[in-house]
Structure 1
Amino acid sequence: MALMTRPTPDPVSDQPGFLMHRLAFARRIAGTGYPFDEDASRALALEEAKRAFDPAGTARQITAIAVTGDRRSRLATISVRTLVIHGADAPLFLPACGQDTAKVIPKAEFMLIDGMGHDLPASLLPLIIDAIDRNARRA
């Protein structure tokens, strides 16, 4: 939480500081089972900053999460086959959160991936694509 709420340096006036900040956060939320792709994370951070940089955006996102409250009653109304994918190493939302989401959604399937954090390692894309395809076919 400290990394997420610490002010982010401006990417235009302090690109090295901006990248150091963003890469530290990306490393922290990455899992332990897959190599951290620093080049891909750096490119993504720069691409996102080029598209839009709003220093207050993180605070708004945290506030939105906090004021949303318990979503389980709304999740229980989902009527399509659902696949909840969660990293076993996710530091922002623990695996129990993903399990709870899957339990509340009727007919949901829960997929816990060992070694994955809150990121999506490229090496897992075939596994995740296959799981999404299987889920779509069971509809």
Structure 2
Amino acid sequence: MSVVQPRLSRAEVIEASATVQRHYYADGRPWEEAWVREAAGVAYDRGYAPDGLPRQWAALLRAPDRLERLRGLALPTVIMHGREDTSLHWRAAVEMATAIEGAELRVYAGMGHMLPEELWPDVVTAVTRNARA
């Protein structure tokens, strides 16, 4: 049974996003509140879909384990994860990197679920190197 999510105003969505996203940043990392608020406003303007997040979460909870399907893959792969991510433990990234032959693993100390701006250059370098491979 699906529950219809209440429609919120743009300001309410921005405020809720800032409240929730704050918890995705690791302790000690700069809280990029202005950027989060701006991104929430852009996302709202692009297409507000209040049922999207609950549907995504429900799909994630129902999804079968796919780790075994990764074993035996041999393709350019870079896996990035925050050591302090409270949404998904960093050991999941290690398991995925171990399963995919030749995968590059980058676990960032001090990073939570959000990718802090100071790591963007490193991420761009890793993704570019992976794409060229």
Range into which the TM-score falls when normalised by the shorter chain: 0.7 to 0.9
Which aligned runs of 4 or more in structure 1 are off by greater than 6 angstroms?
none
2-structure distance, mates of 1:37, 1:110: 25
Segments of structure 1 that go 5 or more residues without pairing to the other structure are 1-6
Q: 1:123 to 1:29 in 2, by over 3 A?
A: same
- 1:50 counterpart (39, 45, 48): 45
Matched, 1:125 2:120: yes
Maintained 8 Å contact 2:13/2:44: no
CA displacement, residues 35-81 of structure 1 (integer Å, 9 cap, x when unaligned)? 11111100000111111122211111011112221111322253212
AA aligned opposite 1:53: Y
Gaps of 5+ in 2: none
Task: Kindly indicate whether residue 14 of structure 2 is the aligned counterpart of residue 19 of structure 1.
Answer: yes
Using the size of structure 2 for normalisation, the TM-score is: 0.85
1:10 counterpart residue number: 8
Aligned positions, number = 129
TM-score scaled by length of structure 1: 0.81
Per the alignment, residue 30 of structure 1 pairs with 25
Counterpart in the other structure of 2:56: 61
Q: CA contact under 8 A between 2:86 and 2:112: conserved in structure 1?
A: yes
Once the two structures are TM-superposed, the CA of residue 8 in structure 1 deviates from its matched residue by 6.9
What is the percent sequence identity of the aligned residues? Answer: 29
